[in-house]
Structure 1
Amino acid sequence: MAERLAVPNISARKMITVSGLGMLFDAMDVGLLSYVLLSLEKNWHLAPTMSGLLGSMSLIGMAIGSALAGAMADRFGRKSLFMITLLIYSLATGLSALAMGVGIFLVLRFFVGLGLGGELPVATTYVVEMSPESVRARRAVYLETFWAVGSLVAALLSFFVLPTLGWRIVFALGALPALYTLVLRRALPETSKYQKLEKRLNIRQTFRLIWSGHLAKQSMVTWILWAVMNFAYYGMFLWLPSVMALHGYSLVHSIGYVLIMTLAQVPGYLTAAWLVEKIGRKWTLLPAMLLAALSALGFGFAQSTAMLILFGLLLSFFMLAAFAGTYVFTVEQFPVRARASGMGWAAGFGRLGGVVAPFLTGYLLATHVTFENIFGLFFLVTLFGFLIVLFFGRETRGKALDE
């Protein structure tokens, strides 16, 4: 992974690391919120529905950020949007540490999501366009592996810092390194593929392009895929600490058990990184989705601590392997002139699934719907996405990016 790229003075390792740090902060923020919600529920006396709304608010920002940043990256360049989105995230996260009530916290969560949502499609597009065909998918998954690292960092911060220093310090710690990453990203060049474009489309033109001709089918598949993946991931993972608490475990034990489950995310990503170049993007994604769906069902029916941890590990492994496949599968469906837009609109639409799921999960828990039924719903939704990709998805392994 350390070979030199065509662009001078930038190695593959440096390019992926600097790009991936933004992904790390994204996952860290999502993970931190799932743990912080437990503290906010007690300190601010929040009902489950309000906790769900807090989880959904950043996803509303992510939906808008993904769509707008992707389209703007096709218009103004990948690097510039790289910088802007991370700056928005950094400032909003730092200010969240100062929030004195739920109202201002909701507003800041929106802006955190706006920055993070915009960063994700731009980073993936950047890495794919900076990589040769033979390793582009693997490098994209290496980039997504930073998500697993970010989830692990969030779990560690929450386990060691949250119970002693409080949630405000946790958010402050999340903002400072993100600002430093802005300094590192200044060294990244613009992609040569983007620089060679003779005509750069505006937002309206790129949207028309991705819904015209053969691209319309690919847009349909990727939009549904992202909606399903976000619904399942955010609906389950934002609530995992709370679900463990509802099973009767203390705050520290709930966070500790979820930390153990989180460890499976890294091997899930690395397995996907190996498979995407061996068997293809689609055929890496499909088994991971099916096994993630079955793991969700098993977690919902688990009663003992051992079974909860076992199915939690399996759920983390296969869900994150499926998400790695989702990124690579999506970004290669679109031509260079609309690649960030295609990726951004799919991710943005998909965030709507993430907006609905945390609030719906909170509502279902508040109305005493059983864990079996809640996780059975996630099983069915993920299975639906699996079938859409199976029958309509397009494999891109071995094909030129604009083929």
Structure 2
Amino acid sequence: MTSFRSVFPVLALCWLAVFFDGMDVNIYGAVMPYMLDDAGLGMTAADAGTIGSWTTFGMLIGALLAGNVTDWLGRRPMLVASVVLFSLGSGLCAAAGSAGLFGAGRFVAGLGLGGLMPLCLAMVLEFAPPRRAALTAGLLMTSYHAGGMAATGLGMTLAPAAGWRWVFWAGVLPAVIAVPLLLKLLPESPGVLLARGRRDEAYAVADRYGLPRPAPVVAPAAGAKGRLAAIRALFRQESRWATPLLWLASFCGLLLVYGVSTWLPQMMRSSGYGLDSSVSFLMVINAGGIVGMLIAGRTADRFGAVRVSAIWFLLTAAGALLLRNQLPLGVTYLVVAVTGVWLFSAQVMVYAATGTVYRDSERAAGLGWVTGVGRTGAIVGPWLIGVLAQNGNETWGFTAFALTGAVGATAIALVPLARRLSGPRPQSPATVTAKA
């Protein structure tokens, strides 16, 4: 019988890995104002936006590579490789003597960051009790925002005193701390072990953690032919209209997540706030993100992931519009914190909604493509705000974020209508409830 105790060791190790993921993603936004002031680096606002997009482009490639080689190499080795890559990228950034070399370091870091989050989510959901899946995913995602807060703390303390490079040197620590723990303590996925023909090991891991023994019919599909069939299945009659809507919602969600994570301090600085206050807003919005992750899953269990995601997107849009105006500092902190509650978990609820749309055999491909297409939004967001910043229009970024939130809300809200128009659902309600 699977219990929450059985998933705790896996959750703790993945939490640590995702903590460092969140720290690395947010480090750039936390130190960008200091980097733009560094004449020796020669970075312009347009360069900063392009480099942010290169990071997320690396994440897109990393996610695709990880998804395609995990069945061959296993999830644990891929997790370790991801941590090593983004730590290496952080070291390259710390040593970079030009904006171009710094961008190369961020691209390398992105390769590692892209594969880590999906792998950790897959691991904890496989080991989690079915009735605690949403709670487990929410707990895991708090680590990303805790890492973002740590990055902001490093930016506020190390960057003014020792320079922005030391913040990136701190980003090398994951390879020293997390990699030995993952190699020693993290089990391999029973499903992946079975798919690779290691049945005895798969059963041993399942028995040790109180999991049902994996059956061949639910093992990960192997081969290019199986993957191609899974992609085609996303556009079968009952999901052909829901699929592009989910893709659009994910695009909007990740544009918001990475646009805000990269540019919020500089945007707030351009709005008239002091440098220290501007950087601290990144910590506040990530604190709001932790609260959001803790409440979003339970709220979605009661009211439905689609409804919660749509409302969360609209509330994010409202928060972005409020931030266009220079409010009293205390009010601004409150608006930023509350916006963080909605912004980050709106995207997570898109993933939860995706899990209710597809058949069991299509769910992994569906989630993979929703995540992958969403990564294009993660590329566009930093680039778009960089273009606005280069022309002295950083505050227009808040309007862009508000419009994005409205489009995301519309797209995810139309998913139930699209499914009704396409035909009956292929699964029973009991299966939907268990998987959502």
Task: Summarize deviations over 1:149-199 as a string: whole Å, max 9, x none.
Answer: 111111111112221122222112122134421222232223334434467
The alpha-carbon deviation at position 227 of structure 1 amounts to: 0.9
Q: Within 5 Å, which residues of 2 pair with 1:114-193?
A: 114-186=111-183, 187-193=185-191
Residue equivalent to 2:406: 383
Which shows bigger deviation, 335-344 or 256-265?
A: 335-344
Identical-pair percentage: 27
- Is 1:239 matched with 2:271? no
Pick from 45, 52, 67: which aligns with 2:49? 52
Give the whole-Å Cα distance in 2 for the aligned partners of 1:123 and 1:331: 17
Q: Within 5 Å, which residues of 2 pair with 1:34-113?
A: 34-43=29-38, 44-74=41-71, 76-113=73-110
* Secondary structure, aligned partner of 2:171: helix
Where structure 2 has 5 or more consecutive residues not aligned to the other structure, the ranges are 195-214, 420-424
Cα gap change, 1:370 to 1:278, in 2 (>3 Å):
same
- Size of the aligned set, in residue pairs, is 396
* Secondary structure, aligned partner of 1:97: helix
Pick from 295, 303, 312: which aligns with 2:319? 295
Give the whole-Å Cα distance in 1 for the aligned partners of 2:222 and 2:358: 14
Would you say the 8 A contact 1:73–1:340 is kept in 2?
no
Residue equivalent to 2:431: 399
Give the whole-Å Cα distance in 2 for the aligned partners of 1:74 and 1:181: 22
- Is 1:271 matched with 2:295? yes
Which shows bigger deviation, 391-400 or 302-311?
A: 391-400
- Is 1:355 matched with 2:379? yes
Taking structure 2 as the reference length, what is the TM-score of the superposition?
Answer: 0.82
Give the whole-Å Cα distance in 1 for the aligned partners of 2:96 and 2:382: 21
Residue equivalent to 1:18: 13
Give the whole-Å Cα distance in 2 for the aligned partners of 1:259 and 1:188: 30
Taking structure 1 as the reference length, what is the TM-score of the superposition?
Answer: 0.88
Residue equivalent to 1:228: 252
Residue equivalent to 2:212: none
Would you say the 8 A contact 1:75–1:202 is kept in 2?
no
Cα gap change, 1:257 to 1:370, in 2 (>3 Å):
closer
Give the whole-Å Cα distance in 1 for the aligned partners of 2:68 and 2:403: 32
The alpha-carbon deviation at position 60 of structure 1 amounts to: 0.5
Cα gap change, 1:101 to 1:239, in 2 (>3 Å):
same
Cα gap change, 1:305 to 1:222, in 2 (>3 Å):
same
- Is 1:211 matched with 2:232? yes
Give the whole-Å Cα distance in 1 for the aligned partners of 2:177 and 2:150: 17
The alpha-carbon deviation at position 143 of structure 1 amounts to: 0.8
Which shows bigger deviation, 223-232 or 171-180?
A: 171-180
* Secondary structure, aligned partner of 2:186: coil
Q: Specify the structure having the higher radius of gyration (Cα).
A: 2
RMSD: 2.7
Give the whole-Å Cα distance in 2 for the aligned partners of 1:139 and 1:158: 30
The alpha-carbon deviation at position 17 of structure 1 amounts to: 1.5
Cα gap change, 1:192 to 1:315, in 2 (>3 Å):
same
The alpha-carbon deviation at position 117 of structure 1 amounts to: 0.7
Residue equivalent to 1:200: 221
**Structure 1 stretches of at least 4 aligned residues deviating more than 4 Å after TM superposition:** 214-218, 331-341, 393-398, 400-403
The alpha-carbon deviation at position 335 of structure 1 amounts to: 6.0
Cα gap change, 1:162 to 1:338, in 2 (>3 Å):
farther
